Structure formats: structure tokens, C-alpha cells
Amino acid sequence: MRIALLTAVALVAAVMLPASAAKAAPADERLAEVERYLREHHAEIRAPGFAYAIVRGDRVVARAAWGVDGDGQPVTGQTPFVLGSVSKSFTALAVMQLVEAGRVDLDAPVLGYLPWFRLADESASRRVTVRQLLTHSSGIPGVATRGMTDRYDNTAGGLTRLVRALATVEPTQPPGRSYQYSDANYIVAGALVEAVTGQSFGAYLRAHVLDPLGMRGAATAAEADALGGVPAGFRYYFGRPRHFDRPFDTSGVSYGFLAASLDDMTHYAIAHLRGGEYGGRRVLSPQGIERSHAGQVATGARGAYGFGWRDSALDGTGARIVWHAGAVANSFSHILLVPEEGLAVIVLANIYGIAMDGPLTTAAFNTARILHGGQAVAVAEDPFFVWARRGLLVTVALLAVVLAWSVLRAVRRPRPRPSSGCHVVAVTAAWVAGCAALTAAAGWALPASWDGAGLPQALLFAPDIGHTIIAVIVLAAATALARVAAALRILAGPG
């Protein structure tokens, strides 16, 4: 799954709806303006496939799908997209069903349901509660750099193995202290559902959430293949979409790998707008829906996190939006609710890249702005990644020149240079040290500056930068070797 990637910058952007338009109805001209904006947005982000819907109460008032999926087929309302972290709201809903059934206590320790749950700090393990999992306040840090997300593991017991692997993870703060987004919380929550119900997480979700909501095209596990498979998606590669296919990830459904179509997501939105009911079937009480939406732990970015939902105030109004965005390496989704107005916006795209997180996330927010009589706000590609990409490419070019010169110097016969040995050794050592420092900066320090990521995450979510980093490492190592070879020839003298 993505690094903790859908940023606070997007959250700040989300709350800028104009106060004067907070209660405006989505008139036909505004729906037309939304479609014009989203068509332009679709072209600007270069998404091969894109879909959106606007829901008012129990009606879909606007809906469209454009482009093609990764298999070359037209995108329709039935095309499944992997939802990324929007999946967390489904997991929270499943847990809340068990709460309302009296089978789970939100404030009970997780150990009461998963006796084998362990963190590296056993004292912390005993104190982590179910509520803390759902609100990302357990103290468990992000686990992407430990290889515990985006595993594409479809073997039996994958979710349990992920939870057991947390025994090596040290909490970074005491349970309950503050918000700290981590996919690990929802990995554990999924395993808790399995332990309490005796069913696989996917099977429980299918029987108690997806089927009751008529989400027939949603996929949780092996059924993805039975439904014809989830189409491949795309990643950005130097600003252009590049086909990227991966197998479905059964072990990651509870935190990010649930798949659903636009039509499925309209059913889900209607249920949340109507107090947990869709088509005469109820998946949660109105009170349970309200509890899930209500922010409980401040996120530090003008909002709070509830149970699988972000709860944000709209500047200068008494209104609020409840939302979540999500992404995997080749797919993006965003659902936004304005509960007091019975309004929902859904946006899906079959492309993702960490540098484009802002532009992708802004579409649903801008749609809400337009529906409230405001104007769309432009969000550009993250400048950090733009400059990182440029800097790496310049470094590659310079290293290639230096390497060519160093190789030429190594292979030509040097002139005798008596008494230059110390100088040659010192200069060569400086070159080797510089190349080693450059390798460390490119291969470790640069990815780590993106929310603690590593090179594997760079290769997954920013492959153009990841591949350029590898080119820097290879060229730096080759340059160091060539300089050593040149020095040895000089020291050996003619002959």
C-alpha cells in the first residue's frame, strides 16, 4: 500500500469551501460545470481511466466514466478499482457491526480477541485497544519500510502472518497518546474480525457488508479472479502513464486492497448518507454511522480521525465533510460525504504516483467546491519530487561523463609520475568517499525523506525516481571502481 501518503496538504485544501455557499443545492448548471471540470482534470492528470459520481440522498444525480482500463477495455460503472486506504472505512464498519452485536468492546484490549498479538514492547501490546486501532492512536508506526505492506500475498494465512510480524515492531509512542497513521492498525483490525467471527476477513466482509449493500462487483480475495479479475492499472513514469499490473493482494484487503466499482461505491455512499441503510437492508445503526464519522483523534491538520474516516471542518461555516482518499501503486480512490446535506462525491482513477497525490486528491474537493458555488483550486505536482527527479537526472548525466573520463584514464598508458603516489592515493580515496556518500544520499537519505520510505517504496510508488536512483548508485560505484583502476595503473607506472 502506499506510504502514509495522502497528505495533510490535501486536508488543508479540503476545508476551503466558501461560507456563503455552504447550503447551496447542486443545480443543473453546477452539475454541468462539475463535468466540464472533471473532464479537464482527467486530461490534466493523464489518467487512462477515470470515473466519478455525485450522490444526493438516495439518488445518483451525476455519473460518468471515461477512458480505458489496464486491459484496454472501456471504463464503465462496473469496472473495479482497487480502493487503497478507502478500504479502511469498510474494515471499521465490520468492526462496528461486531461492537453493536456485543461481540467486541471498543475500549477493550486487542489481546482479549487476539491473545497472540505482540509488539516489540509487550507492555504496549497489553494496552492497545480496539478504538486505538480504528483511530490510528495505538502508537504503532508505519510499517511499509519493513516490507509489511504491498506484499501481493495471496497464500492462506497472509493476514495472520502480517500481524505476527508486528512482534518485531517497536511502538513510537504510548498507546492512546496521539494520532499516527499506520496501515498496521487496520491489519490488526482485520485479523480481529477473523478471530471473533471465525471467518476470513474477506468472507465476513462479503456476507455482512458487500452483499447487503448490493456491491456485487466488489472483490476481496480469490473472488477477484472469479469476477474476471481486477484490471491492471498505471503508474506515472516521468509524467506519463505506464501500464503496471500486479496480482490481487488478499493479505492487504483490510487496509488497502479492497476493490469496487463506481456503482458499488454509490451504494456504499448512500448507506452512509442514510444512516447505514441501502435498499431496505441495514448494515449499521444510524448511531453507529455517526460514531464512525465523528473525528475522535486530532490529526494535526485542521481535522480529526474517526473510525476509518477523516472529519474536517469547513472554514467559516458550521458544515463538515467526512472523507477518505486511498491509493495503491496503480489505482486511486476518494469518497467525500457532506452528511448534513446528504451529499457524496466519489472519484476513481486507474493511475497513481506519489508526486501526483495532491492533483489526484483535489478532484473530489474541487467537485464539492463547485457544487457549493465556489471555484476549483489548482494543485500542482509536488515540487519536492519534481526537483528530486531533475537533480537525479543531472547527477546521472554528470556521473556518466565522469565515468567515461575515468574509464579512459584507466585504460590508457599513464606517463611516469615519480613521487606522486601519496597524491594519487589521496585523490582516489576522496573520489571513492564521494561516490559512497552519493550512493548513500541517493539510495537511502532521499527516499527516507518521504515519510520514512525506502528504495523499494520509491520503486513502487515513484518508479521514475526509483530507477534514476539505481542509475546513480550503479554509475557512482562504477566511477569509484574506474578511479581505483586508474590510480593503480598510475602507481604501477609504465610497463
For residue 376, tell me if it sits in a domain: no
Bridge-partner residues for 456, per DSSP?
none
What is the pLDDT at residue 100?
Answer: 98
Residue 357 has pLDDT above 50, yes or no: yes
Give the pLDDT of residue 223.
57
Q: Where does the pLDDT of residue 427 fall: very low under 50, low under 70, confident under 90, or very high at 90 and above?
A: confident
Query: Which of 371, 406, 435 is at the close of a domain?
Result: 371
pLDDT average, residue stretch 395-419: 73
CATH number at residue 257: 3.40.710.10
Residue 341 lies in a domain: yes
Q: State the total domains in the chain.
A: 2
The radius of gyration of the chain from alpha carbons, rounded to an integer in Å, stands at: 26
The answer, yes or no, to whether residue 225 has pLDDT greater than 80, is no
CA distance 172 to 62: 45
- Same structural domain for residues 197 and 164? yes
Q: How far apart are the first and last CA of the chain?
A: 58
349's grid cell: 482513477
Determine the distance from the C-alpha atom of residue 278 to the mean position of all C-alpha atoms in its chain, rounded to a whole number.
Answer: 28
Domain boundary among 322, 342, 371: 371
Domain check: are 207 and 351 in the same one? Answer: yes
Given a cut of 80, whether residue 420 has pLDDT beyond it is: no
pLDDT at 132: 98
Domain region containing 397: 383-492
User: Given pLDDT bands bounded at 50, 70 and 90, which one contains residue 395?
Assistant: confident
User: pLDDT digit string (tens) for 304-348?
Assistant: 999 999 999 755 455 689 999 999 999 999 999 999 999 999 999
Q: How far apart are CA 11 and CA 287, in angstroms?
A: 26
pLDDT, tens only, 226-268: 445 789 999 999 999 999 988 778 889 999 999 999 999 999 9
* Tens-place pLDDT, residues 440-458: 988 888 888 777 778 888 8
pLDDT at 151 over 80: no
State the pLDDT at residue 24: 44
Examine the domain organization and report whether 159 and 28 are in the same domain.
yes
Whether residue 434 has pLDDT greater than 70: yes
Please compute the mean of the pLDDT values over residues 6-30 and round it to a whole number. 49
Same domain (yes/no): 367, 447:
no
> Which residue has better confidence, 434 or 87?
87
Question: Regarding predicted confidence, which is higher, 353 or 412?
Answer: 353
pLDDT at 205 over 70: yes
pLDDT at position 23 is 44
Residue 325 lies in a domain: yes
Q: How confident is the model at residue 20 (pLDDT cuts 50, 70, 90)?
A: very low
**pLDDT above 70 for 13:** no
Q: Among 171-180, 279-288, 377-386, which stretch is predicted with the lowest mean pLDDT?
A: 377-386
Please, what is the average pLDDT of the chain? 87
Whether 300 is covered by a domain: the verdict is yes
pLDDT 10s digits, 71-101:
999 999 999 999 999 999 999 999 999 999 9
Domain ends where: 351, 371, 391? 371
